[in-house]
Each structure stands twice: as C-alpha cells, then as structure tokens.
Structure 1
Amino acid sequence: MTKLDVQSASQATGASSAASKQPEAKEIKLWGGRFQESVTDAVERFTESISYDKDLYKHDIRGSRAHASMLAKQGLMSISDRDSILAGLDEIERRIQNGEFVWRADREDVHMNIEAALTDLIGEPAKKLHTARSRNDQVATDFRLWCRDAIDSIVERIKDFQVAMVDLAVKNAGIIVPGYTHLQRAQPVLLQHLLLAFVEQLDRDAGRLLDCRARLNFCPLGACALAGTGLPIDRFMTSSALEFSSPLRNSIDAVSDRDFAIEFLSANSVMAIHLSRLGEEWVLWCSEEFGFITPNDAVSTGSSIMPQKKNPDPMELVRGKSARVIGDVVTLLTLCKGLPLAYNRDLQEDKEPVFDSVKTVLGMLEVSTEFARNISFNQDRIKKALPAGHLDATTLADYLVHKGMPFRTSHDIVGKSVAMCLGKNCQLKDLSIDELRTLSPIFDDDVYEFLGVENAVNKFSSYGSTGSECVASQLQYWMEKLGLI
C-alpha cells in the first residue's frame, strides 16, 4: 500500500471513531509564543528540513559551544549555566553518534532538535543558549563550517587521484601515443605527458576550492536575524574559536549571503567536467576500436545478455554524474537569483544541492582513482596504431624552418609530402631523399632524424612540451609536490 493509499484509508475511517479519538497534542514550537494554534500536518511536512540538515549536527554543536563560552565570558550567562550547556551538548553529540538520538520532524530542523533536546536534558539553562543568536546566523555558520570541512575532504581526495595518475605515468615511461585534435590524429605525445595533463587540471581544481575556502572562512555568528544585537557580545571571540578568519562585517550580508555555496558548487562543476573528459577518454581507449587500455575485472562490469562484454562502467558513470554536479550549481543559482535581502525561507533549499554535489564529486574522485590503479596500457596495440595519421608531419615542417624556410612555405611542402605518401601508401620516413627533393632542394639526409614518432617526440624541446626531457622535468615536479620522493 502506498503512502497515498494509507492516507486515503485513514480518511475513510468512520466518523464515530474519529470523534472518539482526540489528536495527540503537538509540541509547542520554541518560536510559538504569539501563535494560538499549531501549523497543520501538511505545512509541518512541507517545511521541515531535519530529514537532511541533521547532517549539520557536528557543526551546530560546535557553534553552540563557542557561543555559550562567549556568552559566559561576556556575563550574559553564568559559568555554571555554561558548564551545564557544554555537558549537555557533549551528551547530545554522544547520543547522535551512537544512534540513540531521536530526530523529530515537529522540531523542524537540526537547530531546534538539538536545542529542544538540550532543554529536555538540562532544563532552564538551555533556554539561555539562544541569547544574541537567530537561526538565520546559526544556520549560516553551520553551513560555512560544513562546506569548509567538505572542501578539505575533496582536496584530500584530489591529491589521492593525482598520486594515482603520477604512479601510472611512472609505470608507463617511454610509451608514445597518438595525440588528438578534433578527435583526429595530430602529433605523437608521450603517454606520461597526457596523464600529467589531467594532474594539472586537478591541481587547478584544488586551487579553486582552496580559494573558495578562503573566501567562505568568515563568521556570521552574532549577526542574529539580520540587524545584529544590542547585547554586549564578542563576535571576534566566537569567530576565533571556530577558526574563522574574522566575523563578517555586515550583519545583513552575513545571514543572506550564499555566494560561498555557489562558488563551491561552481568549482565542483569545473572539476566534474575534467573528470567527465577523462572518463570519455578512457571509455574510448577501452573500446575495441582503440584498444589502448584494458581495465582489470575489479573495475569492470558485464552485460546481462552479452556474455563476452567487459564494460568500463565506472568511467561512464563518472561522465554521467557530472550532469548532477552541474545541475546542483544551476539549482543554487536559480534559487538565489530573485531573493530580496536579508534571510528568506527559500534558503532552506540550499543544502540538498550542496550535499549532493559534495557526495557526487567525492564518489567520482574515488572511483576514478580506483580505475587509474586498475588499468594497463596495451603497448603492442598502441605501437601498431602509431604509423597511421602521419603524426611526424609537423616535425618535418619544423625541420624545414630550421633550414631557413618560412613556416607557411614549409607547411605547404609537407602537405604535398603527405599527399605523396597517401599515393604511395607509405609513411613520411619511407620517402627517399630524391622524392623529398622533388618538393624542395632544402631536404638533406639529416631529415630522417626528424621522421618517425620516436624522433618526432625527441625533437620537442619547448617548456611544457612532450619532449622526453621536458616530461621528465614535469614528472619530477609532481613527484616532489605530491611527496612521492
């Protein structure tokens, strides 16, 4: 029976039964002093957020500890009340961690659940905890603390993936693969160079997250509903206790700003796109048409109908889940685009997309790391694929430039050389010196030092290029930065 069926059956209960059974009295809301009646069940179900914002409990308790300590120092509560509150919060945290805490939807959210439970536990002193604090600044503080921890977790997992990619590069030294532009064969590159390109992208992803962390690391606590308070609080004390850089300067901005969450999800989206592009690359390379990669069984799946299939499903899902992460930031941007200052209840909807984005990118990073540790590159297949596409053509053009020819002229001559190869069904290195000299008298026997993928790769020498020495330098840099040597 569905929920709708249950509701219909309940509504169909006889009138005499309904009259004889009085509804259970609802708990009076902590904010309910001016109200004469309780909200309806439908409103309560629709407005609750405890089903997901209970994930903020550690940060809510941490903020409450800092707030209680500040109130006591400022003479707004006694030391005895502070100690009772701190002990009660410790007990509530223990119960939550042990699965003994009962989360109640009629207490709406994580803040009211913890405060009401604290009142049940220690009585009157708990009622002093909300002095000079609103749920508006409380949730903004909790959310910033949560995002800060989430960024730290993501950055740590980015490093794990970078290490896996660098390890993969070390294990595959000297392998040359076709480099592509427009998904057409372009130039030969070292596989290490290609793998390190993704390491570079991940480093920028980590940098964006750390930049975001620095900007979000300011404390809203004490801004109250929106205007601050006339009570003698010390916002710098709570900010320091919570390891923020400082309190936010403007109380209205403090409770209404969600730039930090939008920036966080934007950074996650860029990273998800990077991971999706890697997923696409590896899915292609696992195909029979490429055959460059063989994933281990530990990171592959089969088909329910085709027994021969071995699919790189984890990387397909990495590619697919990027859509969720992009959707999460779009949700948050749309949520915030029309909100007037200061706090609005719409902002209750900010947490689920953030929680989803973090959970998704952590999973994408984890499975990508696992995949990188469980693949092998098929050197024979790659080597057989290299001759196609005349990958050394640009290097041949560089040879002519070395001889003093303008590049545009060399480009034209090499194009004609490729056309000659297509007519003869051969490679550039197979053309005789006499054949090459029919195109330009500049060609000499030393041209063959530039032809063939191995020679071509070795001729790259500019900073950041795919030349062996350049790539060795890049690899050394990353091994040192990641603490691998």
Structure 2
Amino acid sequence: MTRAPAPGHGGMASTRTHSAEKKRNSVTKAPTRLWGGRFEGGPSDALARLSVSVQFDWRLAPYDLMGSRAHARVLNRAGLLTDDELERMIGALDDLEAACRSGEFRPAVADEDVHTALERGLLERLGALGGKLRAGRSRNDQVATDLRLYLRDHARQIVSRLVELETALIAQAEHNLGVAAPGMTHLQHAQPVLFSHQLLAHVQPLTRDIDRLRDWDKRAAISPLGSGALAGSSLPLDPQATAAELGFDAAAPNSMDAVADRDFVAEFLFAAALIGVHLSRLGEEVCLWASQEFRWIEMDDTYATGSSIMPQKKNPDVAELARGKAGRLIGHLVGLLTTLKGLPLTYNRDLQEDKEGAFDAVETLLLVLPAMSGLIATMRVNTERLETSAPDGFALATDLAELLVRRGVAFRDAHEVVGHLVVWCQVNDKDFDDLTDDELAKVSPHLTPDVREVLNVQGALASRKAYGGTAPDRVREQIAALRAQVNDHASWAADSEA
C-alpha cells in the first residue's frame, strides 16, 4: 500500500504572517462550496459552525490528493480530460500537495471540510479546469475512500510499534530465562512459573492484535471511489482501475453500501480498544511489580516520574497512563456503534462523527506504544526477590498432589491430603521445607520422605513440560516461535509501508 506523506498537524494554523493572511483573504471572499447551486443564500453562522469539520479532517488531505490523482487518470481514460488537461491537473495536485506539506497552503476559515479546502487550492492553480475533477465523484465516496486509506496506512504504523513492544518483552524473557517467579490466580500465589513465561504471556495477545489488524486490512481493502453520492455514475469511469492505483484489492460491489459502510471504522476501533485493554493489563502488572510490596522490578529513571512532595517516590506513570488510555479507546468504539445503530441508507451527516474517534485512537496508540516499549526494555528484574518468593504461599502444593496421583492416589484424595498438610503447616508455623519425615507421615501415610523431590521450585518448573507449559524447554520453544512471528509482523508492516 502506498503511504501518503504527512500533511502537517491536523488543526488550523494558530499564527499566520500578514502576507499569508492577505493572500488568503484575496481568494476566500467568495467561499468555495461544493453544494451551493440550489441555494439563494449561504448557511447561517450556526449551521456553518455545526457543519465545519476541516479542523479535524484536514489530516486526510494527502489521502484525498492521492484519490484525486487516481480519479483524474480515470477521467482521462474516459475521454473527459485531454492528455494536456491531465498533465496540468496532476501537476497542480502535486504542487498543492507540496504546499500542504510545507504549510504554505492551509484550510481557511470559510472552508467547510478537507474536500472544500483542496478544491479551493486546485481552483487557485487551474481556474475552471480545476472544476472538472469533481465529475463522477461525491464527497460521500471521497471521504469513505480517504478514511480507508488513512486507517490502512496507520494500521501499519501501529503494527510497527506493536512489534517494538513484542521485541522488548521477548528480549526481557530471554535475558531472564530460568528465573522463577510466583504464578498467581486471584492475585494470590498459586504455582511457580518462569518469569519469562509470564512476560511471554503478554506477547501472545499482542500477536493476536497484529493478526487482527492484518485480517481487518483485507476487509478494508475495498475502494468506495466511483460510487458517487450513492448510485454510481453514468460517466464511463473505471472504479476497478482507481481501486488498483490506490492499493485496494477491488472496488465496492454495491454503491449504496460503499458510501454508507463504516464497518471498517468500527472494526478498527474494536481492534484499537482491545490493544488498549492488553496494554492496560500489562500496565497494571508493571504497577504491581514495581510496588514495594512486590519489588519484582526496578523502573529505569527515564521511564518513571517522581512526586512533587515526597522525594523518595518513583511512580510508574507510563504504565498508569497506558491503563487509563484504555477507557478512552473503548469509549470511541461505543460512541461510533451508537451513532451507526439507527442510520438509514445511505449517507447521513451523522457519519461525520466517525473520524475524530478514529483519529484519536490512532494517535493514542502511537503515543502509548513507544513509551510502553521503552519502559519494558529498560526495566531491571530483581531476580533474587522473584526466586525467593516463588515458593511462598505453599505454591508447590499442586505439584505434591500430582505426584501422589502419579503414584495411584485419586486426585480427590490427593487434594484432601495436601490440603490437610497446608493447614498443619499454618497451625505449626512451618513451610514445606521445614517438615520432618515424622511430621509428613503424621498427616498421611502417602506422604513418604521421597515426596520432597517435588518440593523444590526447579523440579516443579521442569515437570511442567506439556505443550504450552512453563518448563524451561517449552519456554525456549515459545521464544523461538514468537521470534518468527514477530519477524513476519515486521515484514508485513515494512512491505505494506513501502
């Protein structure tokens, strides 16, 4: 897919030179409107303020210009633009794009949206010839095309950032391979695991997030351009050729659905929201790991903040902000679904509400992901603390019960025996390591002295060797498989961006 160059920041310029203002005033005394022929007067100030969207949809400018170049070539092939007119049109569009990129051309106060602003810029450069480009297309199919191009482009950028986080987690897993940690359920010590296994448990959902975006991209690769307002065009256009030029797989098969469909936005926002949830879960764990109660990790100073009143504090702001942004991402999805649920076919102005949430979701992820990657890559793991606490809370109880099962004891009975042993230890203020042979036998004749072979962390870890388990060999296999997946993810993003 062809990446569009950035048009600059999305809002109106806050400061302008006197000469630029003078030039703008000279060309905007009669506002460019794409719909004014039927009306005797302009819109009221209240309607104009309500309708304007250029303050946020200006970021679609490079994608709109891409579509305009493709549409100009289709008009030429249809005999509606001469070769000379096409050459002049493409030259003017290229010049306008350069002016957008440099900031020389910006939306004016009177511009309703990105399409209006760019048509004004084209008319300034070509005069009446610029008006020919509007033939055979509508803002309805334009904006649906622009937004697909924008989201497909930025989905690849998000995947690149997800790859960085995957890589940081895998690197920490490799560096700390062999370090035992308390595995938890209900935030209570449950069974020992390798800390690497827990780190990789956060990589797995990220791989699904990337697969989800790649799968989404296949459905988003349909071009609405050529659908017009809703019924297609009587002009001899070629929507399939336009689709191919813009990097889409095909043109939309139904013009009404093409301009009304925002499934691709809703699905993108779901993927973004789920990424946010996964980042939030990782962020919550980092907050716990960095706490004085856990002390599993030490955050690097470059990815932590302090307190304005308590000089000793080191706060996990990156993790907390990642956790907080999840609510924002979920909100965008819910907002769009609520907007879409009652709309009749085809285009309705309600669909103007599809963009701000999508833009914010993109910007939020591109802001959070690099910070989380840096936090994970630079954190220092307190291996001594982890390994010391791995067996705490009688975390080896399940291993003992399973040893009895391997010796022929029904699991129900084994569960009861080990449960009684835990109670006995609690009453007598002892751990498994402290028990004598007589004390084991006093609880149950099944508890012979050789059960101690599983009452150590390394033995327990090694025994978890089933596929997907926490045994060191299984974790090494998981790292190798994830490395291959991450390389594939990176290649997809890079190839698509190129």
User: TM-score, length-normalised on structure 1?
Assistant: 0.93
The correspondence of residues 71-86 of structure 1 with structure 2, limited to 5 A, is: 71-86=75-90
Q: Of 395, 417, 427, which residue of structure 1 is paired with 2:421?
A: 417
The whole-number CA distance in structure 2 between the counterparts of 1:139 and 1:77 is 23
Query: Once the two structures are superposed, what CA deviation does each residue of 1:6-55 show, in whole Å capped at 9, x if it has no partner?
Result: xxxxxxxxxxxxxxxxxx95425232112111112222222111101010
Q: Is the 8 A contact 2:183 2:390 kept in 1?
A: no
The correspondence of residues 381-396 of structure 1 with structure 2, limited to 5 A, is: 381-396=385-400
Tell me what 1:202 maps to.
206
Q: Secondary structure at the match of 2:298?
A: strand
Tell me what 1:267 maps to.
271
Q: Secondary structure at the match of 1:105?
A: coil
Q: Secondary structure at the match of 2:210?
A: helix
The whole-number CA distance in structure 2 between the counterparts of 1:299 and 1:30 is 49
Tell me what 2:440 maps to.
436
The whole-number CA distance in structure 2 between the counterparts of 1:441 and 1:291 is 40
* Alpha-carbon distance, 1:483 to partner: 4.2
Tell me what 2:165 maps to.
161
* Counterpart AA for 1:58: P
Query: Once the two structures are superposed, what CA deviation does each residue of 1:400-435 show, in whole Å capped at 9, x if it has no partner?
Result: 011011111111111011112112222223323333
Tell me what 2:302 maps to.
298
The whole-number CA distance in structure 1 between the counterparts of 2:310 and 2:438 is 54
The whole-number CA distance in structure 1 between the counterparts of 2:440 and 2:32 is 92
* Counterpart AA for 2:164: D
The whole-number CA distance in structure 2 between the counterparts of 1:188 and 1:208 is 32
The whole-number CA distance in structure 2 between the counterparts of 1:149 and 1:29 is 29
Q: Of 126, 131, 152, which residue of structure 1 is paired with 2:130?
A: 126
Q: Secondary structure at the match of 2:47?
A: helix
Q: Secondary structure at the match of 2:433?
A: helix
The correspondence of residues 118-267 of structure 1 with structure 2, limited to 5 A, is: 118-267=122-271
* Range moving further from structure 2, 29-38 or 305-314: 29-38
Tell me what 2:14 maps to.
none
Q: Is the 8 A contact 1:403 1:442 kept in 2?
A: no
* Alpha-carbon distance, 1:330 to partner: 1.0
* Alpha-carbon distance, 1:80 to partner: 1.2
Q: Is the 8 A contact 1:178 1:188 kept in 2?
A: yes
* Counterpart AA for 1:237: A
Q: Of 75, 93, 99, which residue of structure 1 is paired with 2:97?
A: 93
Q: Secondary structure at the match of 1:51?
A: helix
Q: Is the 8 A contact 2:32 2:116 kept in 1?
A: no
The whole-number CA distance in structure 1 between the counterparts of 2:97 and 2:29 is 28
* Range moving further from structure 2, 434-443 or 186-195: 434-443
User: TM-score, length-normalised on structure 2?
Assistant: 0.90
Matched, 1:108 2:112: yes
The whole-number CA distance in structure 1 between the counterparts of 2:245 and 2:301 is 49
Matched, 1:43 2:47: yes
* Alpha-carbon distance, 1:339 to partner: 0.9
* Alpha-carbon distance, 1:293 to partner: 1.1
Query: Once the two structures are superposed, what CA deviation does each residue of 1:197-235 show, in whole Å capped at 9, x if it has no partner?
Result: 011010011111111111111010000000111111111
* Counterpart AA for 2:206: L
The whole-number CA distance in structure 2 between the counterparts of 1:376 and 1:75 is 66
Q: Secondary structure at the match of 2:191?
A: strand
The whole-number CA distance in structure 1 between the counterparts of 2:441 and 2:402 is 16
Unaligned stretches of 5+ in structure 1? 1-23
Q: Is the 8 A contact 1:265 1:357 kept in 2?
A: yes
* Counterpart AA for 2:93: L
The whole-number CA distance in structure 2 between the counterparts of 1:46 and 1:85 is 32
Q: Secondary structure at the match of 2:405?
A: helix
The whole-number CA distance in structure 2 between the counterparts of 1:110 and 1:231 is 25
Q: Secondary structure at the match of 1:177?
A: strand
Q: Secondary structure at the match of 1:107?
A: coil
* Alpha-carbon distance, 1:107 to partner: 2.1
Alpha-carbon RMSD across the aligned residues, in angstroms, is 1.4
Q: Is the 8 A contact 2:177 2:472 kept in 1?
A: no
Q: Is the 8 A contact 2:182 2:392 kept in 1?
A: no
The correspondence of residues 362-401 of structure 1 with structure 2, limited to 5 A, is: 362-401=366-405
The whole-number CA distance in structure 2 between the counterparts of 1:89 and 1:392 is 70
Query: Once the two structures are superposed, what CA deviation does each residue of 1:96-120 show, in whole Å capped at 9, x if it has no partner?
Result: 1111003113221111111121011
The whole-number CA distance in structure 1 between the counterparts of 2:450 and 2:479 is 31
Q: Secondary structure at the match of 2:43?
A: coil
* Range moving further from structure 2, 249-258 or 32-41: 32-41
Q: Percent identity?
A: 44
* Counterpart AA for 2:194: L
Q: Is the 8 A contact 1:50 1:105 kept in 2?
A: no
Query: Once the two structures are superposed, what CA deviation does each residue of 1:67-109 show, in whole Å capped at 9, x if it has no partner?
Result: 1101101212211111111000000000011110031132211
Q: Which gives a bigger RCO, structure 1 or 2 (Cα 8 Å, sep 6+)?
A: 2
